[in-house]
Structure 1
């Protein structure tokens, strides 16, 4: 008995085993797509076990189940909002927008430095003297834009 004859004789189990292989591959190659294709393979195998179908119809069922489940999953992933307890994680400069401080060094030539917390930040804004109170209005990368507070 050749492999092709064996698969043809046990087609429902071939779909189930193929689906389980796809599910196992999802553990190695994450992304979610193989998960849904594996589930579609197992479901196709279960359908073929209950109702024997021709090869083209089996592939149509597998493809349809795969596409529909992947599309539903992608839409759900896009709508799902990820809430976080620290929205400025890895965006530390943006967390300082709206904060006020006093210049320890003057701003000359459009740039200066301002101590905030445990860091000294490069700032940009109009030329201002030492002791001037400033408010951070924007962050561009690691440079904070400031304006004088009246």
Structure 2
């Protein structure tokens, strides 16, 4: 039995059962989409119980309702990233951009080292002597990019 003949045979109840199956799928495959498709199918079935429609009109009603529900979910309901009091969490190197400090080891061949906080960081930049005042201008992974201050 094809899906179209099944829907034509059982009418509104096919939409309700299909919607409940989609809602059950959301429990197994979470993501949010199946909730809205299942809700649209259940509403289509309930509306079809009250106001009998041709199966083609039911499909159009379901499609419009599903698209509107998913659009509303994506636009207004879906969680957005929240502002945080610690924007550099898990981005240690980015925290130090703009700081000025004194170079511990000279930068030779483009690389050197500097003590910052409780760690020793590798720095890259122009060749500079130890004791030179530097400013951190960027980060490339765990390497701080510096320039003379």
Short-chain TM bin: 0.7 to 0.9
In structure 1, the residue matched to 2:82 is 82
Count matched residues: 147
The 2-side partners of 1:114 and 1:27 are apart by: 51
Deviation readout 1:52-76 (Å, 9 max, x if unpaired): 1111111111111111221232233
Take 2:85 and 2:10, find their aligned partners in 1: how far apart are those partners?
52
Partner Cα distance (2:50, 2:144) in 1 = 66
How big is each residue's C-alpha offset from its partner over 1:18-71, in whole Å with a ceiling of 9 and x where there is no partner?
Answer: 112211211221222111101101111111111111111111111111112212
TM-score w.r.t. structure 1 length?
A: 0.84
Unaligned runs of 5+ in 2: none
The whole-number CA distance in structure 2 between the counterparts of 1:77 and 1:125 is 46
Structure 1 Cα separation of the partners of residues 13 and 133 of structure 2: 75
Higher mean displacement: 32-41 or 10-19: 10-19
Q: Report the CA distance between 1:5 and its aligned residue.
A: 8.6
- Under a length normalisation based on structure 2, what TM-score does the superposition of the two structures give? 0.84
